[in-house]
Amino acid sequence: MKHCEEVRMRKRNTKHVFLFFPIFFLSLCFLFSQTEEVPDFLAQCGEGVISYIVYGENKDVLCRGTGFLLNESVMVTAYHSLRNAASVEGVNYKGKKVKVEGVVGVDKNLDIILLKINRKDPPLILGNSDELEQGKRIFALGSNESGEITLSEGLVRGFLEISPTQRVADTSLAVPETFNGGPVVSIENKVMGILIFLDPRTKFLLPVNLIKSLKPSAVASKLKDMEKEEYFSTLEGAFLAGRIFALLDETGKAQKYLEDVISKDPANIEAHALLASVYMKQRNYESAASSFKKVIELNPKRDDAYQGLGMVLLKLRRFEEAVSALEKAVELNIDNREVYYHIGNAYEELEDWGKAAEAYEKYLSLKPQDPWTGNLRLGLCRMNLQDYEKAVIAFENARKEKPDDIKTNYNLAQAYHKAGKLEEAQKTYEHLAEINPEDANVYYNTILRMYDEVGMSEKSIEAAKKVIELNPKSEMAIYNLGIMLMKLERYDEAIDAFKKAIEIRPDYDSAYYNIGFAYSKQKKYKESIEAFEKFVEISPDSADGWFNIGVGYMLLKKFNEALEPLEKCVELRPDYAVAYYNLAITYLNLQDYISARNVYEKLVTLDPDLAERLRKLLR
């Protein structure tokens, strides 16, 4: 280990370390949390905590660690610290020497070893690790770099399930690797577990209840007779490290160890399953699929493997294969509600909205803890099926879970709209404007369009006025109000609205156009012509603008003035049949029959019906 190499380096420079020891010790004191309990902990159980040095065959220092007494003469510590040991020597809190006489127990699966020592000191009191819970205060006792027993306080951050019946704890303890194998105690001064380091950065708390199951043998074997090995290169060590790293989302390290486990034990189904989850987190979906398939090959009854395979195939966008795997998962476990949700996802991607809806309904029937997403997806499927009434029900159920969720309310408003429940849609859009004021303008414009589509212009006007209230300087909002007023033939109000829009934007051509149209509806042709003339100043290439000027003059019986704009109109748009017809009428009123007949010849090909009407007027 890197740590052991560092220890050997310090040994070759012992004099330098000794010279700087006082400064080093003072700085170390600040690394540990200071609490009122420190004196009591060390005084009460310090003698049962042992700081040790591991020596190799050549008396070279391999590493340092910590252990503690389970009974008067048996110490427990981390197995991997002693894997290559020839001898071990230690001292307790009071500086009394401790010599290890032999090994009386090993559990390689959990990385713990029991050692017989040559002293009889008070053992630590073992607690019940079932009392550990997230946020609980804990205290680690261990050796610092100088071999002194010190203490650090931390919290339990959470738990990692390494098997269905075993879990370890993740902690906030900030301690050096020399605490490896040391005890972690509760505020009541009872041992809750043993601290195990996988590397200088990664550690976990092995609960004391797992240690209790290892009973010391009556006869000790010699330490030097133990098989020499790199623990984390063994099947047991690699599997333990792989599981812990996987649960801590250290995917690179987890992959390394789990692949090593599988190379040693190809039938290790749990290693394959864990490795598949690691590959998924790495987004290495092809490898994840292969690992899940291996799990299924080893045990075809694993519904979780089919589920995992299905989710990987979803990521790979192989949706039909995903459906097949996921349906096999529910065949093996009909109560696996999450699988139904993912089946729904797959069918959505295949645009099979009916089957997707069935899957989401089954998911919701199993009463998931958070039904919001299921109801939202179900509602979207119902929308695609144009079953708007049922879409409303699904979105309403989703809104019960998240009353102020923007996505839910927006989809519900659309469903109300499609179902013809316009008042409910309006209320929902108004609620959206309250919870998401940044887009209030969008929601009220949607209300405006919704009512406009069904000809409910009074309602549209209310929405338009609300938009103006939100955006008083928006020429478009004022213009839209004018359009709604036009539809109700409230021309004076509409003209006022268009004029206000022009005050904000003087080149607003559409506003001028509609002013001209409104005046023409009121038979105020002079005012209409003035508005259209302003329009063509801004948009000179608009055939419609020139057409309306010409027609205005015709209605005023000013045919000479009508001639030029109508000729300009057909020049811009040679296929404008109605303009040609009115141009011909103008020629007739000016007694220019030849020009009128020329227009007739063109109109025959453009609009035979209009040409026939014109023919009857020609002499």
In this predicted model, what pLDDT tens digit does every residue of 292-309 receive, in sequence order? Answer: 999 999 999 999 999 999
**Percentage above 90 pLDDT, the chain:** 78
Contact 193, 126 (CB under 8 A): no
pLDDT 10s digits, 496-505: 999 999 999 9
Does residue 344 surpass a pLDDT of 50?
yes
Spell out the residues 6+ positions from residue 427 whose beta carbon is closer than 8 angstroms to its own.
none
β-strands 166-171, 149-163: how paired? antiparallel
| Contacts of 290 by beta carbon, 8 Å cutoff, 6+ apart | none
| Neighbouring-strand partners of residue 206 | 194
Enumerate the CATH 1.25.40.10 domain ranges in the chain, comma separated.
Answer: 542-619
- CA 68 to chain CA centroid, Å, is 44
Q: Which two tokens stand for residue 591?
A: 């007694």
| Cα angle: 317, vertex 320, 323; to 5 degrees | 100
Nearest to 206 by CA among 320, 129, 99, 292: 129
How do residues 409-452 score in pLDDT, each as one tens digit? Answer: 999 999 999 999 999 999 999 999 999 999 999 999 999 999 99
pLDDT of residue 447: 93
Please give, one letter per residue, the 3-state secondary structure of 123-182.
CCCECCHHHCCCCCEEEEEEECCCCCEEEEEEEEEEEEEEECCEEEEEECCCCCHHHCCC
Domain covering 542-619 in this structure, CATH number: 1.25.40.10
- Report the distance separating Cα 544 and Cα 568, nearest Å: 10
What's the average model confidence in pLDDT over 145-173?
92
Q: What residue ranges of the chain are covered by domains with CATH 2.40.10.120?
A: 2-229
| Residue 53 bridge partners (DSSP) | 64, 89
Place of tokens 């050997």: 8
CA 101 – CA 90 distance, rounded (Å): 12
CATH 2.40.10.120 at 2-229, yes or no: yes
Q: Helices 440-453 and 406-418 meet at what angle, rounded to 10?
A: 10
Evaluate if residue 39 carries a pLDDT over 50. no
- Kind plus residue range of the DSSP H or E element containing 418: helix 406-418
Residue 466 has pLDDT above 80, yes or no: yes
Q: Specify the length of the chain in residues.
A: 619
Q: How many CA atoms lie within 13 A of 358 on its CB side?
A: 6
